[in-house]
Amino acid sequence: MKGKQGVALADCIQLFRFSTEQLKESYSVLISMKSESIREQIIDVQTWLSASLTNLRTCMDGFKNLNGTMKVRMYERVQNVSAMVSISLAFAKRISLSNSNEMRLDLNHHRHLLSNGDGISSDLSWRGRSINQDFPAWMSEGDRRLLQSPQGGTKVDVMVAKDGTGKYKTIAAALNAAPNQSKQIYVIHIRAGIYHEKLMVTKQNIMLLGDGKSLTVVTGSNGYTKAGSTQFTANFMASANGFMARDMTFENKAGPYGGQAAALLVRSDRSAFYRCSIIGYQDTLYAHSLRQFYRECDIYGTIDFILGNAAAVFQTCNLIARKPLKGQSNVITAQGRGDPNENTGFSMHNCTVLAAADLVPIKKSVLTHLGRPWQKYSRTVYMQCFLDDLVDPSGWLEWDGNFALKTLYYGEYLNSGPGAGIKKRVQWPGYRVIKSAGEANQFTVNGLINGYSWLPSTGVAYQGGLIV
C-alpha cells in the first residue's frame, strides 16, 4: 500500500506492537501484584495503559484526513480496543484510590524525613547537591551518576567520531552493535560533529553522551509533507525504555515552512535528558508517552513545540519561542491527555520562558501562549517559572472553540516575570491559579513521576518538591 494511507497503516502497525507489549506488562503485574508495593505497581500499570491508549489515538490521527474503507475499518477496530483499555485504566485508577490512604501515609512519611516540617524540603541550592537530587524515582544511583558525572568520569562502552578516531563513524552503526535487552546502561560517546542521521533507538538502557550542546548535533530536515506523519518527521526517536541523553543537540531543519517537523520523539519509559538542546519550529519535541524527565535543556520552537501525552517533568529548562511565519502565533505546549484516568501531563518547574533572538525585535506583535488543549483532558502546569514579556496576558489559547475548556487542567503556581500576571488570564472552567502547595506538589518530580520512592535506597538529601 502506497501514499498517505500506506504511511498511516505503517504507523498503526508499529504503534500496535508497542501497545501489545504495554498491555502484556500491565496484565503480568496485575495477576501477580505484591501487597507490599501496590503503589509502585499500580502507577506502572496506569503508565503503560495510558501509553497504550495514546498509541491507539496516534494511530487514528494518521487517518484523520483520509477517506475510504480502510479508515472505517481501522476506526472500528481501534475504538473497540480503546474502549477495553479505557475500562482497564479505570479499574487500575480505582485500585489506586482504594489504597489512597496507605499511599498518602507512606508519602507523608517520606516527606517528613526530608522536610523542614511542612512537607517541603528546605534544601534549595542547585550548588553542592549530591548526585541523586532532582532526579526521578526510577533512576538508579548509577544512572544519576552517569548523567551528572564529568565526561572523563563516565565509563564509555564505545565511541563514535566522524573523523574515524572512534570505533564507529556513525551513530547508527554504534546503535546496531549495542546489546539487546541490556540490564546495564550502555554508554555511547559521540564526539563533536554534525551527524546527518535519521535514528530510532529500539534497544533498552542506551545512553548517548555528547561533547556539548553546540558540539554534538543530530540533524535532519524531514517535514510533514515529506514524511506524511508527524512521528515519521522525527530525526531521532527514542522508542525503548531507559534511554538517556546528555550534552548534545537534536535538531530538525525543515524550517517554518516545513509544517510539523519533530526534532525528537520520545516514547521511552523512565527516560532522561540532561543539558540537551532540542531545536525546531512546529512540533519540535514530541513527548509522546510514558515517564520522561528533562533537566537544564533548551527547547526551541513556534507552534505546539512541546506536544504529546507523556508524564513529563521539565526542570530548570529554557523554553524558547522563535519567530513564526507571518500571521502565525506561538504556542509552547499541546498536551494530549485523552482519558480522565491517564496519569499523564506536562509539568514546567522552575523553567524560563523567553524569546529567541529572531523573535525579540517583533515579540510585541506576535502572540505567544503557554499552551492549548490537544485532547479533551489536556493537563499542563507552570510552577515557579520565569515568564518573560512575550507571554500574552491571556496565557492560554483555545484549540477549537469551546473544545476541552471544561475538562482540561491548566494551572499556574507562583510564577514570576513580566508575563506572569494572572489578572487577564483566560476564565475557562478548567484553568486555575494553584493556591496550595498540596495541589502543586502533585506536579513535582515527586508527585508526577514518583521521585520519592528511590530515597530509601540512596539515603541522600533530595529536593524533588517545590522551591520554598
8 versus 362: the higher-pLDDT residue is 362
- Identify whether the C-beta of residue 309 lies closer than 8 Å to the C-beta of residue 333: no
Whether residue 466 has pLDDT greater than 60: yes
106 is catalytic: no
Whether residue 126 has pLDDT greater than 80: no
184 versus 281: the higher-pLDDT residue is 281
What pLDDT was estimated at residue 153?
A: 59
* Window from 23-32, 190-199, 275-284, 390-399 with minimum mean pLDDT: 23-32
SS3 51: helix
DSSP characters for 63-80?
Answer: TTT--SHHHHHHHHHHHH
- Identify whether the C-beta of residue 263 lies closer than 8 Å to the C-beta of residue 222: no
Whether residue 112 has pLDDT greater than 50: no
What pLDDT was estimated at residue 139?
A: 62
Sorting pLDDT into bands at 50, 70 and 90, what band is 136? Answer: low
pLDDT digits (tens, 9 = 90+) for 344-401: 999 999 999 999 999 999 999 999 999 999 999 999 999 999 999 999 999 999 999 9
pLDDT digits (tens, 9 = 90+) for 279-311: 999 999 999 999 998 989 999 999 999 999 999
400 is catalytic: no
Measure the CA dihedral 402/405/410/413, to 10°: 100
SS3 368: strand
Using a pLDDT cut of 70, give the percent of the chain over it: 84
The grid coordinates listed for 179 are 546489546
60 versus 142: the higher-pLDDT residue is 60
What pLDDT was estimated at residue 453?
A: 53
Sorting pLDDT into bands at 50, 70 and 90, what band is 34? Answer: confident
CB within 8 A of 264, min separation 6: which ones?
234, 235, 236, 237, 238, 250, 278, 284, 285, 286
Angle at alpha carbon of residue 296, lines to 356 and 306, rounded to 5°: 60
Mean pLDDT across the chain: 86
SS3 237: strand
Whether residue 109 has pLDDT greater than 70: no
Start-end of H helices in 99-162 = 100-114, 141-148
What pLDDT was estimated at residue 137?
A: 54
Find the catalytic residue in 11, 143, 157, 283.
283
What pLDDT was estimated at residue 15?
A: 93
Per the CATH hierarchy, to which homologous superfamily does domain 153-458 belong? Single-stranded right-handed beta-helix, Pectin lyase-like (2.160.20.10)
pLDDT digits (tens, 9 = 90+) for 201-228: 999 999 999 999 999 999 999 988 776 7
Whether residue 170 has pLDDT greater than 90: yes
Average of pLDDT values for 38-59? 93
What pLDDT was estimated at residue 70?
A: 83
Q: Please state the three-class secondary structure of 2-16 as a single string.
A: CHHHHHHHHHHHHHH
pLDDT digits (tens, 9 = 90+) for 444-453: 987 898 766 5
Domain ranges in the chain?
A: 4-96, 153-458
What pLDDT was estimated at residue 446?
A: 79
What pLDDT was estimated at residue 39?
A: 81
What pLDDT was estimated at residue 119?
A: 32
What pLDDT was estimated at residue 31?
A: 87
Whether residue 108 has pLDDT greater than 50: no
What pLDDT was estimated at residue 114?
A: 35
Find the catalytic residue in 304, 389, 392, 400.
304
What pLDDT was estimated at residue 106?
A: 44
